[in-house]
Chains A and B, each alone.
Chain A
Amino acid sequence: MERTVLPLAAAVSAKREGLPALVLLGPFLLAFLLFFLVPACETFWLSLTDSSLTRTNAFVGLDNYATLLRDASFRDALANTFYFALLTVIPLTALGLLMALLVNRFVRVQGWLQGVFFLPFVLPISVMTLVADWMLQPSSGIVNHLLGSQRPWLADPDWALPAVAIGTVWWTVGFNMLLFLAGLRNIPAEQYEAAALDGARGWSLFAHITWPSLRPVTTTCLILQMIASLKVFGQTYILTSGGPFNTTRVTLHYMYETAFTQSDAGYAAAIAMAFVAVVLMLSLLQAWVVRWMARRDA
């Protein structure tokens, strides 16, 4: 819900609240500056040099970026990252919505359902990957037991990334459920009552009240999820180490290998900066599409 404030009143209150606001924001701004902005600028500077892991070497201008444009490994890693995002963003959002609807619908087992859906989210990544690895074991895993197959999921070039994606959905969907649940509870009950009086039932209630009212939450979910999915590293690093044959080596893993295995920090910084640009552009594009759709509907 947006609050409407008169421009004049806003300016006055901004002036009066200036100092307290600054004091309150201070700790965050300091941390932001120290641990984000300064390192980010340093990374940009590093990307213009030929540096090793611990030593900043000669300035090479845009050489690293020129190399990046011709680097097939970088393109492969980007493609893997986008594939992972494709496999996770929409399922995570849709499943989160579905779970929230279920929790909202079955009031009597609400607490229990909510717990079951949210529990995986509180697991640290090390536990989540252990569980996923164990479930996906070729000979002893429960997944193959249920499917009656012998597939080495995480060593199969076609299935490794989808398998990691499924594990990730199971792991993080609980958070989206919470977002949607909050959204659902913000929809005034009167709207449903009025619609019910007009004879609306089931699907049309969802299509005409729930879905439109949830649009802001859905948008937030999609954007947060896309950024999270593009930033994937831990799951593939632990479960597949980028294998088999680089089919699950995502961009950040490529950056990690470049920096730490190959001690090529300058180039790794260039990968990082290029990736930031890609993610930023995608986020802006997504926000623009969402706004355009909202305008079209309005």
Chain B
Amino acid sequence: MARPGSGLAAAALLGLLGTGLSTPARAQMEVRMWTLLSGGDGARMQALVRDFNASQRDVRVVSTTLKWGEPFYTKLITASVVGAGPDLATVHLSRLVNLAGGGVLRPISNAELTAAGLQGGDYLARQWQKSQYRGAAYAVPIDMHPLVLYYNKTLAARAGLLGADGTLAPIEGIAALTDAFRAANERTGKPGLTMESSQSSYAIWRLWTSMLAQQNVGIIKDGRFTYGAAGEATLAGIAAWFRRGYAQVGLDYPASTSQFLGGGATFMLNGVWEVPELVRAAKAGTLGFDYGIVPLPRMYANASAWADSHGFALPANPGHEPSPQKVAAVLRFVAYVSRHSMGWAEGGHIPAYRPVAESPEAKALQPNAQYAAAAANVIYDPDGWYTGAAGPLEAIASKFMPAALYGYMTPAQAMRRFESESARLVRKPPPRY
């Protein structure tokens, strides 16, 4: 998974040029895939496509990478409902209610899955369940990527936060976590925490929803926000870390990760997708410190942590529905990726395909094993057509929540603006595209 960069929207179009390549003379079934995977994930998916294409001669996958986030989904939705979508797309399972309910995707029948050698039971139960909409499968899960806490062992040792075994001493409770950030800040002279907090940052929403879930507080029900006073109090709690200087405000995604990778902060709150960069830097000897990763600490009643999953889905393309042969070709590739998702685990993700996820190799993989326990406590965005990765509700949250961290708005003002701006959205019936 990658973050929406600040590049040009037009740059995304460049990727489209790839789809025009001519096919070889052989009677091959071509599968056109759109993905939103960039960075390391993008490279790993490209490698899987390459290996798959080399492994057999019947199916050829042509992959096009579009700009992550809203541009990707807008394009996927508009193309797929008029019959001009690709044969296969990577989507976030948090968007499934929106995409399946809106008529963007086509269901995948049991018979089709079985023919490809796949079955629901092969996938982690939670992710398989997130792939269902009204009793039918609309996606095949690829992975899960939770929010975790990274730490710099050198700085944490200086702050007195390591246990006897040289790993982070357990942190329990919001006060203990705040104390850890404060101690790290005071004793290292560097920010205790780094996280993406610039305008349009989704990270704050992810942390905020995790913290509310830890308090057993729901976010939305029947078009009404249900978090009450806890919503503002939680945002105020996060804002206080920044106000007190435990974390530097206004860093965008690249700036916040380079702060951690450069040894400039003791802790980093981020998704597991930053793991490969740490592994790479550690291997190359350029990191300069030893790191560890733990699941998001239990701050309140439980240890819930925000997560999302990638999955493969088949666009509906009404008027240009895929032939049974096409569906078989698509699922053949999907099955191939599932069986070869060990490489995907090296991207930090927890594979959703159980034969891989539960294999001894996956269980021994470092640093993944350090945060494997997070899988038991993951929460997704609440179900709704407007929720999910880069969906309209997250987009609105990403505008106002950073404002509270900047001090440009008070947490109360930020929550009020978040609610007033999304009021129309959450009351609207789900659109049928």
Interchain CB contact under 8 A, A157 and B408: yes
Interchain CB contact under 8 A, A262 and B408: no
CA distance A244 to B414 in the complex (A): 13
Chief secondary structure at chain B's binding surface: helix
Interchain CB contact under 8 A, B386 and A262: yes
Give the segment of A47-55, A161-169, A185-193, A275-283 that binds chain B: A47-55
CA distance A261 to B395 in the complex (A): 9
A238 within 8 A of B: yes
CA distance A53 to B431 in the complex (A): 8
CA distance A157 to B413 in the complex (A): 15
Closest chain A CB from B270 CB (angstroms): 20
* Residue-wise interface mask of B (175-211) relative to A, using a CB-CB cutoff of 8 A (1 in contact, 0 not): 0000000000000000000000011100000000000
Select B199's contact among A52, A155, A257, beta carbons within 8 Å: A155
B403 within 8 A of A: yes
Assuming the contacts A53-B433, A157-B408, asked whether A263 and B77 have C-beta atoms less than 8 A apart, the reply is: yes
CA distance A238 to B71 in the complex (A): 12
Closest chain B CB from A64 CB (angstroms): 11
CA distance A237 to B200 in the complex (A): 13
Most buried by B among A126, A237, A241: A241
Q: Using Cβ atoms and an 8 Å threshold, which residues of chain A touch B250?
A: 152, 155
B157 within 8 A of A: no
Interchain CB contact under 8 A, B8 and A130: yes
CA distance A197 to B432 in the complex (A): 77
* Residue-wise interface mask of B (71-110) relative to A, using a CB-CB cutoff of 8 A (1 in contact, 0 not): 0001001100110000000000000000000100000000
Select B421's contact among A53, A73, A126, A260, beta carbons within 8 Å: A73
Interchain CB contact under 8 A, B77 and A53: yes
Identify the closest chain A residue to B432 (Cβ).
A55
Interface residues of B in 1-20 (CB under 8 A from A): 6, 8-10
CA distance A262 to B426 in the complex (A): 10
Interchain CB contact under 8 A, A262 and B402: no
Select B9's contact among A157, A237, A244, A263, beta carbons within 8 Å: A237
Closest chain A CB from B241 CB (angstroms): 19
CA distance A54 to B102 in the complex (A): 11
Interface residues of A in 61-89 (CB under 8 A from B): 67, 71-73
Most buried by A among B70, B82, B392: B392
A213 within 8 A of B: no
**Tier of interface size on chain B:** 20 to 34
Q: Using Cβ atoms and an 8 Å threshold, which residues of chain A touch B408?
A: 157, 244-245
CA distance A270 to B399 in the complex (A): 24
Interchain CB contact under 8 A, B199 and A263: no
B412 within 8 A of A: no
Q: Using Cβ atoms and an 8 Å threshold, which residues of chain A touch B74?
A: 260-261
Closest chain A CB from B23 CB (angstroms): 29
Interface residues of A in 144-196 (CB under 8 A from B): 152, 155, 157
Most buried by B among A72, A130, A246: A246
Closest chain B CB from A128 CB (angstroms): 11
CA distance A280 to B131 in the complex (A): 49
Q: Using Cβ atoms and an 8 Å threshold, which residues of chain B touch A245?
A: 199, 399-400, 402-403, 408-409
Q: Using Cβ atoms and an 8 Å threshold, which residues of chain A touch B102?
A: 52, 263
Interchain CB contact under 8 A, A155 and B9: no
CA distance A55 to B318 in the complex (A): 13
A91 within 8 A of B: no
Closest chain B CB from A50 CB (angstroms): 9
Q: Using Cβ atoms and an 8 Å threshold, which residues of chain B touch A126?
A: 8, 10
B134 within 8 A of A: no
Q: Using Cβ atoms and an 8 Å threshold, which residues of chain B touch A133?
A: 6
CA distance A49 to B98 in the complex (A): 21
Q: Using Cβ atoms and an 8 Å threshold, which residues of chain B touch A244?
A: 199, 402-403, 406, 408
* Residue-wise interface mask of A (235-263) relative to B, using a CB-CB cutoff of 8 A (1 in contact, 0 not): 00110011111100000000001001111
A93 within 8 A of B: no
B425 within 8 A of A: yes
Interchain CB contact under 8 A, A55 and B9: no
CA distance A226 to B280 in the complex (A): 53
A129 within 8 A of B: yes
CA distance A152 to B10 in the complex (A): 24
Interchain CB contact under 8 A, B392 and A52: no
Q: Using Cβ atoms and an 8 Å threshold, which residues of chain B touch A261?
A: 70, 74, 392, 395
Closest chain A CB from B375 CB (angstroms): 31
B244 within 8 A of A: no
Interchain CB contact under 8 A, B81 and A54: yes
Closest chain A CB from B420 CB (angstroms): 6
Identify the closest chain A residue to B404 (Cβ).
A245
CA distance A85 to B403 in the complex (A): 25
Assuming the contacts A54-B433, A264-B428, asked whether A243 and B399 have C-beta atoms less than 8 A apart, the reply is: yes
Closest chain B CB from A209 CB (angstroms): 46
Interchain CB contact under 8 A, B200 and A243: yes
Most buried by B among A243, A244, A246, A262: A262
Identify the closest chain A residue to B198 (Cβ).
A155
Interchain CB contact under 8 A, A52 and B8: no
Select B425's contact among A241, A243, A262, beta carbons within 8 Å: A262
20 chain-A/chain-B pairs, Cβ below 8 angstroms: A52-B102, A52-B431, A53-B81, A54-B78, A54-B81, A55-B81, A55-B433, A67-B424, A71-B424, A73-B421, A126-B10, A157-B408, A237-B9, A238-B8, A242-B399, A244-B199, A244-B406, A245-B199, A262-B428, A264-B431
Q: With A73-B420, A264-B424, A264-B431 given, can you name 15 additional A-B contacts, CB distance below 8 Å?
A: A52-B102, A71-B424, A129-B8, A133-B6, A241-B200, A244-B406, A245-B199, A245-B399, A260-B70, A260-B74, A261-B74, A261-B395, A262-B428, A263-B102, A263-B431
Spell out B's residues near A (CB within 8 Å).
6, 8-10, 70, 74, 77-78, 81-82, 102, 198-200, 250, 386, 392, 395, 399-400, 402-403, 406, 408-409, 420-421, 424-425, 428, 431-433
Spell out A's residues near B (CB within 8 Å).
52-55, 67, 71-73, 126, 129-130, 133, 152, 155, 157, 237-238, 241-246, 257, 260-264, 267
Give 7 nearest A-B pairs by CB, closest first. Answer: A52-B431, A244-B199, A243-B199, A245-B403, A263-B431, A262-B392, A260-B74
